């Protein structure tokens, strides 16, 4: 009897740790597969988005050539005319104004923060930039309507351009401010990654601080600054709400920055309601969304790769 009990106890204690450990390992493996699966699903999602938009635009692309769609200026959906040119130009004009206003201020601020500012200024700057980045676009649009549109109207009318203020310039100004935090934070990070020895080597030869920044620091990471600007561009390119509220939304080719414009995102946002009632209108808007996706994707992939290379080189 005692012997039998002894055997039972012995075999029990040998298998128990084995079973518990096996369970843990099994859990680990399931978790690992689950996570990998999620990551793969995420990638599939990414591809799926592009394909879905393309598929939805197909009916329109099948009837008219892409080239015709991109270059024609007539936008009359009821007459089956879908010329995207005014909208593409509108987007470029607004983005262009935004970048012209934003790049010098952002890059100079980034250089100031990275090379000249003291610890106190830098500690205030980061929360400030986060704040700027977190303000909802609609609030920027509201501010644009309250402050920028009247400003542009008065400047324009005083300089001989009759304008209501709802214009490309207004859109550009609002976008420029929205883009500041992006360019500044990326550019500043890139500048800080230049090793201190490079600066010391230059200063030891008798260069001034500015000469060092101009000839050594900047040159080391010029592609990174380019990437920062490209990120700003892609953000400005796709911004919908804030621009929509101040840009005027008139589908004509703009001739001056005081004219109203009609960027692509605004086109989609303003017309989604009618999209199902007119034939091919939904395809047209989906094509607009696809164009936006394609441009932003191209820019973002490019900047991601450039920034990665810089990180690796200086690591």
Partner 1 sequence: MDRRRMEEAFFRVLMVASAAIVAGSVAGVLLIVLVRGLPALNLAMITQSPKGGYYLGKEGGVLNAILGSLCLAAGATVAALALSLPIVFYLQKEYGGRSRLASLTRLALDVLWGIPSIVYGACGFIVMMYLGLRASLLGGIMALTLVELPIMARAMDEVVRLVPAHLKEASFSLGATRIETTLRVVWRQALPGIMTAVLLAFGRGIGDAASVLFTAGYTDRLPSSLFEPVASLPLAVFFQLGTPFPAVQQRAYASGAILLALVLGVSVISRLLARRFERYVIR
Partner 2 sequence: MPHISIRNLSVTYDGAHQALRNVSVDIPDGQITAVIGPSGCGKSTLLRACNRMLDLNDGVTVQGEALIDGVNILDASVDVTQLRKKLGLLSQKPFPLPMSIYDNVAYGPRIHGVKDRRRLDETVERCLRMSSLYQEVKDRLHRPASKLSVGQQQRLCLARALAVEPEVLLGDEPTSALDPQSAQQVEKRLVELKGDYTIVLVTHILRQAKRVADYVIFLYLGELVEHGPAADVFASPKDAKTQAYFSGEVS
* 255-294 residues near partner 1, rule: CB under 8 A: 265, 268-269, 272, 285-286, 289, 292-293
Judged by beta carbon distances under 5 to 8 A according to partner kind, the member of partner 2, partner 1, none in contact with residue 197 is partner 2
Q: How far is the CB of 171 from partner 1 (least distance, A)?
A: 15
Residue of 180, 177, 175, 173 whose CA lies nearest to 149: 173
Which residue lies nearer to partner 1 by CB, 65 or 211? 211
Q: Which two tokens stand for residue 68?
A: 């015709």
The residue from 75, 237, 258, 281 that contacts partner 1 (CB under 8 A) is 237
190-229 binders of partner 1 (CB under 8 A): 208-211
Q: Which two tokens stand for residue 267?
A: 């086109």
Q: How far is the CB of 230 from partner 2 (least distance, A)?
A: 21
For binding to partner 2 (CB under 8 A), which residues are involved?
A: 195, 197-208, 211, 215-216, 219-220
Judged by beta carbon distances under 5 to 8 A according to partner kind, the member of partner 2, partner 1, none in contact with residue 238 is partner 1
Which residue lies nearer to partner 2 by CB, 7 or 219? 219
What percent of the residues of the chain are helix, what percent strand, and what percent coil, each to the nearest 5?
80, 0, 20
**How many residues in total does the chain contain?**
315
Judged by beta carbon distances under 5 to 8 A according to partner kind, the member of partner 1, partner 2, none in contact with residue 216 is partner 2
Q: Cα–chain-centroid distance for residue 206?
A: 41
Q: Which two tokens stand for residue 224?
A: 């990174």
The residue from 7, 25, 76, 313 that contacts partner 1 (CB under 8 A) is 25
Judged by beta carbon distances under 5 to 8 A according to partner kind, the member of partner 2, partner 1, none in contact with residue 198 is partner 2
120-149 binders of partner 1 (CB under 8 A): 121, 125, 128-132, 134-143, 145-147
- The DSSP-derived string for 172-219 is HHHHHHHHHHHHHHHHHHHHHTS-HHHHHHHHHTT--HHHHIIIIIHH
Q: Helix H segments across 64-195?
A: 66-71, 85-111, 119-134, 137-143, 149-158, 168-192
């Amino acid at each position: 009897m005692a012997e039998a009990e002894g055997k039972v106890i012995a075999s029990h204690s040998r298998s128990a740790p084995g079973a518990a450990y096996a369970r843990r390992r099994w859990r680990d493996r399931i978790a690992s597969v689950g996570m990998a699966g999620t990551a793969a699903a995420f990638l599939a999602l990414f591809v799926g988005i592009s394909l879905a938009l393309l598929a939805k635009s197909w009916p329109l692309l099948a009837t008219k050539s892409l080239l015709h769609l991109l270059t024609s200026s007539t936008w009359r959906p009821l007459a089956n005319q879908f010329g995207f040119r005014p909208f593409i130009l509108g987007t470029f004009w607004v983005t262009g104004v935004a970048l012209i206003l934003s790049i010098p201020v952002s890059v100079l601020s980034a250089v100031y923060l990275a090379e000249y500012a003291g610890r106190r200024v830098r500690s205030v700057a980061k929360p400030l930039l986060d704040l700027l980045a977190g303000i909802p676009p609609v609030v920027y649009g509201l501010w644009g309507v309250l402050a920028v549109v009247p400003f542009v109207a008065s400047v324009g009318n005083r300089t001989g351009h009759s304008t209501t203020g709802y214009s490309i310039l207004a859109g550009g100004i609002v976008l420029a401010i929205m883009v500041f935090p992006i360019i500044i934070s990326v550019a500043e990070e890139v500048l800080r990654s230049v090793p201190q020895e490079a600066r010391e080597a230059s200063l030891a030869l008798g260069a001034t601080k500015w000469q060092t920044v101009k000839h050594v620091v900047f040159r080391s990471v010029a592609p990174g600054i380019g990437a920062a600007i490209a990120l700003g561009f892609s953000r400005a390119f796709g911004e919908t709400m804030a621009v929509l509220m101040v840009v005027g939304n008139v589908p004509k080719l703009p001739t001056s920055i005081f004219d109203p414009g009609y960027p692509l995102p605004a086109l989609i946002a303003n017309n989604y309601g009618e999209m199902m009632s007119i034939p091919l209108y939904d395809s047209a808007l989906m094509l607009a969304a696809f164009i936006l996706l394609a441009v932003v994707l191209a820019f973002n992939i490019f900047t991601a790769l450039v920034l990665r290379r810089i990180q690796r080189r200086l690591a």
